[in-house]
Homo-oligomer: A and B are copies of this chain.
């Protein structure tokens, strides 16, 4: 069974909700170890005692360097040392990345690790990569993201020949900014990828492609907009329904249908995102994660371990990429 190291101090609702989520995942049989301060009430889960904290506002690289005994760095080092198979944190994404680069290091040939997130598209999940690890990226980085996303789609989501598209502002080849126009050219010539052209953001939920490639800035804008819009729209629907007695009754009758919709579109259903490209598995959960999201992020990590995501990335990334 997978051994997952959990940063008990990561996220807006830490440590309370993180511990409850960890307990929920442990009940599935996952071997969860918490990393946090002495005296933390863990409900019986093993605790590795740490003395420092990295917060959301901290500068990632500085914080990782200056706080080696933080819950986050210690949890990641446990993976590097082989004491855990994966790390889960709902804390500072940049710090997870910085600590991962420092203590797990990159897979051979990987230029930049990237965040891969399953998007709840109409006919099954699409993989959005990079959802925020690299705010500024070069064209060749995005080509590598396309390869990592394809391996992820094939190995974890079971898509045999994943179709890849580039997130841009028009489907036509020439539409985009300087970065995407160059990436489009490179992807068109890249062997070993099923590149099908640009995707528009309006089609993300319609299942634009199996893998949607973006730089981390654009991908993060897209991911958060998707989540915010879904939340706001469902809230607005609830408010409208509560505004008359007729619609209140209607709201009662559609409750099971609305619940199915919420489950499908709820970001907590996935719980987290893989940080791909390191010599160890890291799952980044939302800063706002509650217990359910944390539990699902830990399950996602365990699934990644069982499916040997890191090993498969190492094996399957085309040699060409390992320049």
With CB as the reference atom, state the residue of chain B lying closest to A240. Answer: B257
> Which B residue's beta carbon lies closest to that of A215?
B177
Identify the 5 closest CB pairs spanning chains A and B, nearest first. Answer: A250-B253, A202-B228, A250-B254, A201-B225, A240-B257
Contacts A204-B229, A228-B204, A229-B204; A240 near B253 (Cβ below 8 A): no
User: Bound complex: CA of A220 vs CA of B35, how far in Å?
Assistant: 42
**Sampled A-B contacts (14; CB under 8 Å):** A169-B217, A169-B220, A201-B225, A203-B228, A205-B228, A206-B228, A218-B221, A229-B229, A229-B230, A236-B264, A240-B258, A246-B253, A250-B250, A253-B253
- With contact pairs A169-B217, A233-B205 given, residues A225 and B228 touching in the complex (Cβ less than 8 Å): no
Give Cα distance in the complex from A180 to B217, angstroms: 10
Give A221-247 interface residues, CB cut-off 8 Å to B.
221-222, 224-234, 236-237, 240-241, 243-244, 246-247
Residue A40 CB within 8 A of the other chain: no
15 new A-B contacts at CB < 8 Å, known A59-B174, A176-B217:
A122-B232, A132-B169, A135-B178, A201-B221, A201-B225, A202-B228, A204-B225, A205-B229, A205-B232, A221-B221, A225-B229, A240-B260, A250-B251, A250-B257, A251-B254
Could you say which of A177, A229, A253, A255 has the most chain B C-beta atoms within 10 Å of its C-beta? A229
Rounded to whole angstroms, the CA-CA distance of A201 and B229 in the bound complex is 9
Q: Is A323 at the interface (CB under 8 A from chain B)? A: no
Cβ–Cβ contact A257 & B228, under 8 A: no
Partner of A253, one of B206, B221, B249: B249
State the CA gap A216–B225 with chains docked (Å): 16
Q: Indicate with 1 or 0, residue by residue over A182-219, a CB within 8 angstroms of chain B CB atoms.
A: 00000000000000000011111110000000011110
**Nearest Cβ on chain B to A137's Cβ, whole angstroms:** 9
When C-beta atoms are compared, the residue in chain B nearest to A174 turns out to be B59
Inter-chain contact A254/B254, CB cutoff 8 Å: yes
Residues of B within 8 A of A249 (CB): 250, 253
Q: Which residues of B contact A226 (CB under 8 A)?
A: 225, 229
Chain A, 132-155, CB within 8 A of any chain B CB = 132, 135-136
Q: Which of B135, B243, B265 contacts A233 (CB 8 A)?
A: B265
Q: Are B261 and A240 in contact (CB under 8 A)?
A: yes
Chain B residue at minimal CB-CB distance from A201: B225
User: Is B261's CB under 8 angstroms from A237's CB?
Assistant: yes
Compute how far the CA of A135 lies from the CA of B178 in the bound complex, rounded to whole angstroms. 8
**A167 within 8 A of partner (CB):** yes
Tell me the complex Cα distance, A42–B224, Å. 44
Q: How far is the CB of A18 from chain B (nearest CB, A)?
A: 21
User: A233 contacts which chain B residues (CB < 8 A)?
Assistant: 205, 229-230, 233-234, 261, 265
Distance A224 CA – B200 CA, assembled complex (angstroms): 7
